[in-house]
Amino acid sequence: MKPSETIRFYASTGLLWMGSCAWLAYNLYNSSSASICLFKNITSLPCPACGTTRSAVSIMQGHLLHAVYINPLGFLAIILLLAVPIWLVTDMVRHKQTLHHTYKAFDGFFRKHPAIIIIVLAALSFNWLWNIAKHL
């Protein structure tokens, strides 16, 4: 693995995490109902991820059932927002690249097992239909 590839991976992951935290914090303290979803603004239909931020905010406020109703992907978002910084810091302290290796392993796994991708896409499609049905 090239050092520059690893540095780019960790830098982009850290920046993405910081941006996600900033976005979540903004939404936690601002009750604006304006949608920034480009797909929804163009088609008037919610995308499969629509509601993920509102779901994550609901989780942070302790409204777990409401979070599931809005979009279950909010739970995945919260798990990642909690795990990624711990993993990044642990890798930096230990001078390891376990997050990057894990990412590469998942990428290889999905490339070797396209049926798993089909299952994930089916679940996202179901979530999308659910978002449409509840007029999210």
pLDDT tens digits for the chain (136 residues)? 677 888 999 999 999 999 999 999 999 988 766 778 889 889 999 988 999 999 999 999 999 999 999 999 999 999 999 999 999 999 999 999 999 999 999 999 999 999 999 999 999 999 999 999 998 8
Question: The whole model's pTM is what?
Answer: 0.85
What gap in Å lies between CA 68 and CA 20, rounded to an integer? Answer: 20
Residues 27, 56: Cα–Cα separation, whole Å: 10
Sign of the dihedral through C-alpha 32, 36, 41, 46: negative
* Total count of domains within the chain: 1
Helices then strands, counting H and E runs in the chain, come out as 7, 0
**Residue 1, pLDDT score:** 60
CA distance 86 to 5: 21
* Domain ranges, residue 95: 3-133
- Residue 91 CB partners (closer than 8 Å, separation 6+): 10, 97, 98, 99, 100
